[in-house]
Amino acid sequence: MHEHELNPWRTLIVLSVFAVLIVIGFFTLQKPTMKYDLNMKESLTVLNDKDACFYPWQLEKVIKKEVNNVVLFDIRDRFTYGQGHIPNSENISAFDLTNKENIKRLENLKKKNITVVLYGEDQLQANGPWMLFRQAGFKNVKVLLGGYKYYSEHKEDLAATKSDESYKKGTPRFDYAKIASPSNTGIEQPNSPVKKKVVVRRKKKAKAASGGC
């Protein structure tokens, strides 16, 4: 028989310590910084919500500081932001958006009914973070259509983008048609001319002359 089986007090102490550790772990367990308010079906409806987007022509008033209820967040890295950005925008990297400090700030902006506009190099870069915050219940967070690239190409006349709407088409990052072309894959096209097979004919060696010196 083991020693601890003969000493019930030792077993009681071990169980008590174990219970205390469980209680401490329960109260010190960190709560998640964000909770999802939208399910998958509700999230898909957001994609068709026109009010969830911020249009390029709306930037004109923000840049001129004619409105004070809109905040621009540039989610690119600091180096790219330094090379060029939308005036009056603030640089918060996409990796830092979910920090406790930034989440708390977004909650305060939400209470004050201030619109937060996220933008990246293109719209695709900001779509993920935008959808994350929309699912978490931040209805005041919007995404800039076209991203910084579209803005930089039309910043001289943003008002004209109201009728342009080419930002809806998007710009592919890769030319998949060119990559999949036969010239790059090495696959011959069906109508390509068949190369003739080259036949190499070897000449017969001349016989050595008979006789001697």
First to last CA, the chain: 114
Q: What is the pLDDT of residue 36?
A: 55
pLDDT at 26: 47
CATH 3.40.250.10 fits 40-168, yes or no: yes
Q: Is the pLDDT of residue 138 over 70?
A: yes
Q: Stretch 158-162: mean pLDDT, rounded?
A: 87
pLDDT for 110 beyond 50: yes
Evaluate whether 119 touches 72 at the Cβ level (below 8 Å): yes
pLDDT of residue 206: 59
- In tens, the pLDDT along 11-62 reads 655 555 555 555 555 444 455 555 555 565 655 566 666 778 899 999 999 9
Rounded Cα distance, 199 and 202, in Å: 10
Reading the block at residue 140, the tokens are 């005041």
Distances (CA, A) of 155 to 125, 135, 147: 20, 31, 12
pTM exceeding the 0.75 threshold for the entire prediction: no
Taking only the tens place, the pLDDT of each residue in 73-93 is: 999 999 999 999 999 999 999
CB 154 within 8 A of CB 164: yes
pLDDT range class, residue 150, cuts 50, 70, 90: very high
What are 119's two structure tokens? 């933008």
The type of residue at 165 is E
Q: What is the mean pLDDT of the chain?
A: 75
What's the confidence (pLDDT) of residue 95? 87
pLDDT score recorded for residue 208: 56
Q: Which helix (H) or strand (E) holds 170?
A: none
What pLDDT, on a 0 to 100 scale, did the predictor assign at position 132?
Answer: 84
List, for residues 118-131, the tens digit of each pLDDT value: 999 998 899 888 88
d(CA 183, CA 176): 13
Residue pair 86/74 in contact (Cβ under 8 Å)? The answer is yes
Q: What percent of the chain has pLDDT over 70?
A: 55
